[in-house]
């Protein structure tokens, strides 16, 4: 088939990485938060916070590096509200999550309107890091090993998190905070501190994912641009059953759905944009239909921890 | 003796009423206050902004009629949410159920209308919207009932799917061949729901009021409603009590989705007459906090929906005059939801301190 030219394949694989990185970061972030017992429905809002602040700082300072830091900060800002209301005050995590998502949608759109009115300034291309040797492999090389540093960072987070969860005291404490917080408390560790750490860590990863969407993916900030990517992150975390590696597989799968449709459009196959936008969600629902029964969540997920209460 | 007892009784009742009022109105006032601070930061006078909002939404004759007309679909959404939330089911997919219902209603009704009596066309249109809304809710329903999958996620996913599906259907399938703008065929004005008493208020308002009161009484006064509330309160207790939890779950989703779909139908049959491409008013997620604020009570929900309707109609005109975009309403709703949760926190704390 003439469709499968080298350029098409490179675009396809590069597209998987571009679409998959935000999903991967969102999934890993949600996983961290859920392991510690906080169901983070506000993740979409954190992603938007990261997308906006990341874009704004990259635009204002003309430095993508600072932009990514801004994205991390933006995600953590929204996450700090989650910490205050859900971890410290123990309010309903679902209500606050929806509130943060709605509030962040409105706030970022409003800020964008105040800052840029109806203009959508575009950022220049982000510099890539070329990995010598690997980048010379045909097709895969230019698609995967000549990429923005954030792509490598996101993938590197997977083994790092596996190590943290399996081998470190911190990882054990995070999982105890989600499975049996009272036991963690008896062991002399603060459940609230561990959960706060997990939610802020989630905000940082998710915010970085949002910044990746606005700075690398689109090059612009558009209101509501995360378009459910944060929610797909929740699905990834549910299906991964606590394994970071499975989040990576899921992100590749859903990234492929997004990328395939876009690549086909580029290749001249006529698919309406609305259908393209449906594909990842169709894939999510199909996977949930097939594998949904196996989704596993921590025992104390969604329950606020109050010391001395049973 | 009796006097002191009576006074403490009256005092307690007063305090209880005051508590309820504070719990409901306190968050609203706080949300307005904080939104006002944000307006100040945006260098907009909050008094003139809210002056425009209430001047248009509540005090001008055309504005009030628009507010009351919009209340019809909003009340149906609120009814859909009350059924689900009281049964412990987080149906957050109302936006797609609304749109899917609206699109199929708008596709079918204009074709039927010339051939049947008006009432039959309207009835069929409403039924179609409710059926398709319910169908759209069935996927999350089965996943929740038989796979135990959290419906928050699945309904949100079905939202994104449904919104895209609606615009695909409008652009490709149900396109009106007579226009170049992508939209469905338009229902003639004389075939729409009648307006009330010579005003422009659509009788959808009546449908909405009837629906929310019916839902309120179903949930609080009937055996079926009690069963649903038991499922919502404690699903494993419901299993032990011999209730068919999966079937009840599916029934809840079907009723909730049906009402949300009917809301879309009423918006089309009463007000818009057609669906344009990419139309998505996204009422449902905004109504969620209001239903919480009303503590799932139908009567209170009518009041809050009225307030929201004023805000959303008024914000459109205030946006034109003050340059504050419509997004601002979203911020207000987000703050309102947080304030609500905070007030709940303090009332729980007070109760514990009292006990």
Nearest to A94 among B90, B157, B330 (CB): B90
Residue range B21-32: mean pLDDT, rounded:
79
Residue A89 lies in a domain: yes
As a residue count, chain A comes to: 310
Residue A298 pLDDT level (bands cut at 50, 70, 90): low
Q: CA angle at residue A136 from A130 to A141, to 5 degrees?
A: 70
Say if the ipTM goes beyond 0.90: no
The CA-based dihedral angle spanning residues A293, A298, A301, A305, taken in that order and rounded to the nearest 10 degrees:
160
Question: Looking at the predicted structure, is the pLDDT value of residue B232 above 90?
Answer: no
For the ranges A58-67, A205-214, A247-256, the maximum mean pLDDT occurs at A205-214
Give the DSSP per-residue string, A107-143: HHHHHHHHHHTT----PPPPP-EE-TTGGGSTTHHHH
| Interatomic CA distance for residues A14 and A8, integer angstroms | 10
Residue B77 lies in a domain: yes
- The DSSP element (H or E) to which A147 belongs, if any, is strand A146-147
CA A61 distance to own-chain centroid: 24
Percent of chain A at pLDDT exceeding 90: 34
Q: B73-102: per-residue pLDDT in tens?
A: 999 999 999 999 998 888 888 999 999 999
Question: Looking at the predicted structure, is the pLDDT value of residue B1 above 60?
Answer: no
Question: Looking at the predicted structure, is the pLDDT value of residue A37 above 70?
Answer: yes
Question: Looking at the predicted structure, is the pLDDT value of residue A1 above 70?
Answer: no
Residue range A196-204: mean pLDDT, rounded:
95
pLDDT of residue B283: 87
The answer to which of A33-42, B201-210, B236-245, B248-257 has the lowest mean pLDDT is: B236-245
**Tokens representing A47?**
């992603």
| Interatomic CA distance for residues B85 and B151, integer angstroms | 12
Angle between helices A244-266 and A149-167 (to 10 degrees): 160
CA B108 distance to own-chain centroid: 24
**Residue A19: closest CA among A164, A236, A199:** A236
Residue A256 lies in a domain: yes
Across the interface, whether the CB atoms of B337 and A92 are under 8 A apart is answered: no
Residue range A28-38: mean pLDDT, rounded:
92
Residue A2 lies in a domain: no
Minimal CA separation from B164 to chain A, in Å: 5
Mean pLDDT over all residues of chain B?
Answer: 85
3-state secondary structure of A2: coil
Residue A106 lies in a domain: yes
CB of A106 within 8 Å of a chain B CB? The answer is yes
**Is the separation of the CB atoms in A46 and A230 below 8 Å?**
yes
pLDDT of residue B314: 87
| Interatomic CA distance for residues A101 and A83, integer angstroms | 15
pLDDT of residue B2: 46
| Interatomic CA distance for residues A52 and A54, integer angstroms | 5
Domain assignment of residue B260, given as a range: 45-323
Residue B255 lies in a domain: yes
Residue B117 lies in a domain: yes
Q: A231-274: per-residue pLDDT in tens?
A: 889 888 888 888 999 999 989 988 888 787 777 777 777 777 77
Phi, psi at residue B183, to the nearest 5°?
-160, 165
Q: Where are the alpha helices (DSSP H) in chain A?
A: 6-35, 43-61, 64-82, 93-116, 140-144, 149-167, 169-179, 181-186, 191-211, 229-240, 244-266, 273-291
**Residue A147: closest CA among A20, A276, A277:** A20
CB of B318 within 8 Å of a chain A CB? The answer is no
Residue B328 lies in a domain: no
**Is the separation of the CB atoms in A262 and A276 below 8 Å?**
yes
Which residue has tokens 């609500």?
B340
Across the interface, whether the CB atoms of B149 and A288 are under 8 A apart is answered: yes
Residue B332 lies in a domain: no
| Interatomic CA distance for residues A69 and A50, integer angstroms | 9
| Interatomic CA distance for residues A159 and B287, integer angstroms | 42
Please provide the distance, in angstroms rounded to a whole number, between the alpha carbons at the two ends of chain A: 64
Q: A180-198: per-residue pLDDT in tens?
A: 888 888 888 889 999 999 9
3-state secondary structure of A219: coil
CATH number of domain containing A153: 1.10.3470
How many domains are there within chain A?
1
| Interatomic CA distance for residues B59 and B35, integer angstroms | 22
pLDDT of residue A309: 63
Q: A106-156: per-residue pLDDT in tens?
A: 889 888 888 877 777 777 777 777 777 777 777 777 777 777 888 899 999
Mean pLDDT over all residues of chain A?
Answer: 85
User: Residues 6 or more apart from B215 whose CB is under 8 A from it?
Assistant: B79, B82, B83, B259, B298
**Is the separation of the CB atoms in B83 and B262 below 8 Å?**
no
- The DSSP element (H or E) to which A145 belongs, if any, is none
Residue A159 lies in a domain: yes
Q: B7-20: per-residue pLDDT in tens?
A: 567 777 777 777 76
Across the interface, whether the CB atoms of B325 and A231 are under 8 A apart is answered: no
Percent of chain A at pLDDT exceeding 70: 92
Residue range B187-193: mean pLDDT, rounded:
78
Nearest to B171 among A41, A104, A272 (CB): A272
Range 214-243 of B in CB contact (< 8 A) with A: none
| Interatomic CA distance for residues B269 and B109, integer angstroms | 8
Residue A78 pLDDT level (bands cut at 50, 70, 90): very high
Range 254-293 of A in CB contact (< 8 A) with B: 272, 274-275, 277-278, 281-282, 284-285, 288-289, 292-293
Residue A88 lies in a domain: yes
Reduced 3-state DSSP string for chain B:
CHHHHHHHHHHHHHHHHHHHHHHHHHHHHHHHHHHHHHHHHCCCCHHHHHHHHHHHHHHCHHHHHHHHHHHHHHHHHHHHHHHHHHCCCCCCCHHHHHHHHHHHHHHHHHHHHHHCCHHHHHHHHHHHHHHHHHHHHHHHHHHHHHHCCCHHHHHHHHHHHHHHHHHHHHHHHCCCCCCCCCECCCCCHHHCCCECCCCCCECHHHHHHHHHHHHHHHHHHCHHHHHHHHHHHCHHHHHHCCCCHHHHHHHHHHHHHHHHHHHHHHHHHHHHCCCECCCCCCHHHHHHHHHHHCCCCHHHHHHHHHHHHHHHHHHHHHHHHHCCCCHHHHHHHHHHHHHHHHHHHHHHHHHHHHC
Minimal CA separation from B100 to chain A, in Å: 14
**Best of A45, A288, A294 to mutate (most B CBs within 10 Å, chain B):** A288
**Residue A265: closest CA among A251, A253, A279, A254:** A279
Domain assignment of residue A280, given as a range: 7-118+147-294
pLDDT of residue B195: 78
Question: Looking at the predicted structure, is the pLDDT value of residue A297 above 70?
Answer: no
**Tokens representing B1?**
């003796």
**Best of B155, B164, B175, B286 to mutate (most A CBs within 10 Å, chain A):** B164
Residue range B160-172: mean pLDDT, rounded:
88
Percent of chain B at pLDDT exceeding 70: 96
Minimal CA separation from A106 to chain B, in Å: 5
Q: A3-25: per-residue pLDDT in tens?
A: 667 777 787 888 888 889 999 99
Give chain A positions within 8 Å (CB) of B95. Answer: none
Residue range A92-107: mean pLDDT, rounded:
86
**Tokens representing B178?**
């007579």
CA A46 distance to own-chain centroid: 9
CATH number of domain containing B156: 1.10.3470
**Is the separation of the CB atoms in A36 and A163 below 8 Å?**
no
**Best of A39, A80, A84, A98 to mutate (most B CBs within 10 Å, chain B):** A98
pLDDT of residue B121: 86
**Is the separation of the CB atoms in B127 and B259 below 8 Å?**
no
| Interatomic CA distance for residues A71 and B263, integer angstroms | 39
CB of A248 within 8 Å of a chain B CB? The answer is no
DSSP secondary structure letter of residue A298: -
How many domains are there within chain B?
1
CB of A1 within 8 Å of a chain B CB? The answer is no
Q: B34-80: per-residue pLDDT in tens?
A: 988 988 888 888 888 888 888 888 888 888 888 998 999 999 999 99
Q: B95-125: per-residue pLDDT in tens?
A: 999 999 999 999 888 888 888 888 888 899 9
| Residue B195: strand pairing partners | B202
Q: B323-335: per-residue pLDDT in tens?
A: 888 788 888 888 8
Residue B207 lies in a domain: yes
Across the interface, whether the CB atoms of B167 and A102 are under 8 A apart is answered: no
């Amino acid at each position: 088939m003439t469709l499968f030219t080298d350029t098409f394949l490179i675009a396809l694989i590069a597209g998987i990485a571009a679409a998959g990185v935000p999903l991967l970061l969102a999934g890993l972030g949600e996983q961290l938060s859920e392991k510690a017992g906080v169901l983070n429905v506000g993740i979409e809002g954190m992603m938007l916070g990261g997308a906006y602040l990341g874009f704004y700082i990259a635009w204002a300072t003309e430095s993508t590096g600072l932009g990514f830091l801004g994205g991390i900060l933006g995600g953590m800002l929204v996450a700090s509200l989650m910490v205050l209301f859900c971890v410290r005050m123990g309010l309903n995590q679902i209500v606050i999550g929806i509130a943060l998502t709605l509030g962040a949608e409105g706030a970022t759109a409003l800020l964008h309107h105040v800052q840029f009115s109806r203009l959508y300034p575009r950022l220049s291309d982000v510099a890539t890091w070329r990995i010598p040797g690997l980048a010379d492999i045909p097709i895969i090389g230019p698609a995967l090993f000549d990429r923005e540093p954030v792509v490598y960072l996101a993938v590197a987070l997977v083994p790092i998190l596996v190590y943290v969860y399996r081998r470190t005291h911190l990882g054990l404490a995070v999982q105890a905070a989600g499975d049996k917080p009272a036991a963690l408390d008896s062991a002399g560790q603060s459940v609230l501190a561990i959960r706060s750490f997990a939610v802020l860590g989630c905000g940082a990863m998710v915010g970085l994912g949002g910044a990746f969407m606005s700075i690398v993916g689109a090059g612009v900030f558009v209101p509501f641009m995360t378009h459910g990517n944060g929610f797909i992150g929740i699905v990834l975390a549910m299906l991964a059953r606590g394994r970071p590696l499975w989040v990576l597989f899921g992100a590749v799968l859903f990234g492929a759905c997004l990328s395939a449709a876009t690549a086909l459009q580029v290749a001249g196959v006529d698919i309406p944009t609305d259908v393209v936008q449906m594909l990842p969600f169709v894939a999510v629902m199909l996977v949930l239909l097939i594998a949904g029964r196996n989704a596993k969540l921590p025992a104390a997920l969604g329950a606020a921890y109050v010391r001395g209460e049973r | 003796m009796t006097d002191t007892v009576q006074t403490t009784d009256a005092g307690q009742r007063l305090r209880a009423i005051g508590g309820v009022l504070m719990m409901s109105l306190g968050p609203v006032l706080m949300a307005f206050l904080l939104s006002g601070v944000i307006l100040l930061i945006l260098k907009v006078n909050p008094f003139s902004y809210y002056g425009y909002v209430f001047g248009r939404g509540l005090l001008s004759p055309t504005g009030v009629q628009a507010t009351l007309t919009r209340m019809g679909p909003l009340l149906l959404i609120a009814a859909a949410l009350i059924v689900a939330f009281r049964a412990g089911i987080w149906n957050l997919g109302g936006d797609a159920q609304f749109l899917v219902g609206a699109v199929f209603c708008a596709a079918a009704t204009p074709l039927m209308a010339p051939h049947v009596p008006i009432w039959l066309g309207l009835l069929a249109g409403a039924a179609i919207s409710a059926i398709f809304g319910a169908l759209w809710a069935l996927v999350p329903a089965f996943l929740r009932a038989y796979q135990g999958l959290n419906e928050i996620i699945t309904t949100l996913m079905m939202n994104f799917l449904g919104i895209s599906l609606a615009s695909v259907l409008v652009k490709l399938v149900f396109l009106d061949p007579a226009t170049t703008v992508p939209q469905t065929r338009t229902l003639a004005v004389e075939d729409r729901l009648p307006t009330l008493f010579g005003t422009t208020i659509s009788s959808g308002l009546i449908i909405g009021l009837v629906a929310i009161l019916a839902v309120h009484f179903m949930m609080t006064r009937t055996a079926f409603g009690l069963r649903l509330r038991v499922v919502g309160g404690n699903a494993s207790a419901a299993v032990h009590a011999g209730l068919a939890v999966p079937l009840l779950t599916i029934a809840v989703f079907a009723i909730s989705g049906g009402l949300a779909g009917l809301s879309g139908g009423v918006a089309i049959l009463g007000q818009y007459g057609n669906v344009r491409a990419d139309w998505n008013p996204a009422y449902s997620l905004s109504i969620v906090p209001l239903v919480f604020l009303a503590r799932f009570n139908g009567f209170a929900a009518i009041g809050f929906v009225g307030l929201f309707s004023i805000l959303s109609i008024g914000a459109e005109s205030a946006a034109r005059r003050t340059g504050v975009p419509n997004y601002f309403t979203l911020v207000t709703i987000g703050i309102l939801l947080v304030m609500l949760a905070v007030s709940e926190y303090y009332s729980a704390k007070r109760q514990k301190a009292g006990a």
